[in-house]
Amino acid sequence: MDIHSLRNGYASGQLTPEAVVKQAYDRIETEGLHPVWISVVPRETALARARELATKPLAELPLYGIPFAVKDNIDVAGLPTTAACPAYAYTPEQSATVVERLEAAGAILIGKTNMDQFATGLVGTRTPYGACSSVFDKRYISGGSSAGSAVAVAAGLVSFSLGTDTAGSGRVPAMFNNLIGLKPTRGVLSAHGVVPACRSLDCVSVFAETAEDAATVLRAARGYDERDDYSRVAPIGGGASPWASSAGFRFGVPKADALEWFGDNENPALYQAAVAKLTELGGVAVEIDITAFLETAQLLYKGPWVAERYAAIKTFFEAHSGDMDKTVAQIIQSATKYSAADTFSAMYRLEELRRRTQAVWQTMDVMLLPTAPRTYTHEEIAAAPIERNSHLGQYTNFVNLLDLSAVAVPAGFRPDGLPFGVSVIGKAFADEALLLLADRLQRGLVTTLGGSQRKLAETPVVPAMTPPPGCLLVAVVGAHLSGQPLNWQLTQRKGRLFRTCRTHPDYKFYALKDTVPPKPGLVHIPGFEGPGIEVEIWALPEETVGSFVDGVPPPLTIGSLRLEDGSLVKGFLAEPVAIEGSREITQFGGWRRYLSSL
């Protein structure tokens, strides 16, 4: 059910949206509505939508005919929103912004999925509609709170689904069902029309079989929404990821004794295999102290952020707490003990911890953690529902509090057949770069999609990004080359070497006179046939380019430079006046060869 396969089938005529939708409903009728679904779009409504698409061009709709599901705290016009609490149910007249955007891109909604009530839980069992299970073993939980959304994708009922993620609800179920779980930067996907859990932290999340599918959904659904007070777009240079397309990216790995597995003996080896694979892919493992991150995680449920859950449903809770899941009601009731003073104290504590984590981020580009330390059976969760739920959020709870982005990645299978997963975590707005890295890592660690035996290798990769997200490419030819005296001006701005190549043949090269440190000048000579000059292409975060260019002294300038493959990039050129009295060194083909000749 991956997007690429469906689109190929539609293009060839071997499949039609109507046939795919019919198959989904046939399976739901055979397997039953619960526990995966809470409600579904009427069959004839979905089929009519599929037939309507037949009149529209496939090429213009990136999600043409792609079936999807949404968690039942996300509004769909005409379907009840329950948040897994029947007494809370209401029927909205308008769909959530994300649903509207996905349908506008051609996707076909099948229905609304089961969840931990009011998105309070990481287990998928706190619901009156039946507890979901991992598609790999019915004895084990599916993870939550976006339980049905994950299972619907892993079981091949839909191609992708939407969840929500405050504490890890879009990532833990991904691990337990061998899926990609995209937890985008807060505000990148509109939360208008979503029942809040912690409104200041909530994110709409995406479950998919592949990172490319998740990226396709992200592109279709993202965008500023004035109806969502927390909606935002990346500022200039926001999410700049010069590391995304270069070898030598640094990934943070906790000290071995800092990782808690809560009695699991299989997952540690799979985590180390993921570390080894990311190293093989060109990363450099950096040992980090995650104490401040773990202390931040404790604030989410042991601090006044629980009061946000109370604030979201205060009126309902005070009248209907007896109609709620007992564990969820107990958690939300605990919020009433926090005062305004407690809230400010926790906010001050969060800023202190944020400052400490920022120091750790200076040493790494991304962080690699287990998505969850372990999984549990339904019986184990029933025996200790709050304690064992908290174990599952060990490595996820801090992400939204610290305004980070994350992608849960399938990372192999245990001897008992259950999947393991890791998360790549980055700064705000690094979503696209993380998906690129997640794709490479997934392909190095697993071979199959979701709960099926279909091959990951038969799906498209996330294409390399040129330039990397949030960056501008700059070609340097002399004193800014790696190892040369002005290279620090690039590295100080978090620049990364993107690639080394040559210019187009129509450039002459000069050693400029009276420059300190010595610098060359590159001059475009139309029609000249030279050897081409060696250049390094650096990726600079967009917000740093202005200060870099401002420091370029005359007679040098920044202009458009044509490379040997015909592409254009910004780079160092010399004004014509610069070559008067300067020595031509074109024959050396580059600054380093010239320097070695002296």
Q: Known catalytic residues?
A: 71, 145, 169
Tell me the C-alpha distance between 252 and 504, whole Å. 39
Among 396, 442, 404, 432, CA closest to 173: 396
Instruction: Write down the H helix ranges in 289-446.
Output: 291-301, 306-312, 314-320, 326-333, 340-361, 378-383, 385-392, 398-401, 431-445
Q: What is the 3-state secondary structure (H, E, C) of 499-544?
A: EEEEECCCEEEEECCCCCCCCEEEEECCCCCCCCCEEEEEEEEHHH
Tell me the C-alpha distance between 127 and 83, whole Å. 9
**Per-residue tokens: 203:** 């994110």
Tell me the C-alpha distance between 334 and 314, whole Å. 13
Residue 185, SS3 per DSSP: coil
The residue type at 139: R
**Per-residue tokens: 287:** 């040992």
Among 152, 148, 140, CA closest to 382: 140
Tell me the C-alpha distance between 194 and 164, whole Å. 9
Residue 467, SS3 per DSSP: coil
Find out whether 228 and 190 touch, Cβ atoms under 8 Å: yes
User: Any bridge partners for residue 76, and if so which?
Assistant: 79
Which segments of 418-491 are extended strands (E)? 419-427, 471-476
Residue 23, SS3 per DSSP: helix
Peptide bond into 410 cis (omega under 30): no
- Maximum pairwise Cα distance, the chain: 89
Among 171, 170, 213, CA closest to 462: 213
Find out whether 320 and 89 touch, Cβ atoms under 8 Å: no
C-alpha dist (Å) from residue 343 to 235, 293, 338, 438: 29, 19, 7, 36
Tell me the C-alpha distance between 477 and 287, whole Å. 34
Q: Are strands 137-141 and 250-254 parallel, antiparallel or unpaired?
A: unpaired
Find out whether 327 and 126 touch, Cβ atoms under 8 Å: yes
- The residue with tokens 């939360």 is 191
Tell me the C-alpha distance between 206 and 107, whole Å. 14
Q: Are strands 568-574 and 496-502 parallel, antiparallel or unpaired?
A: unpaired
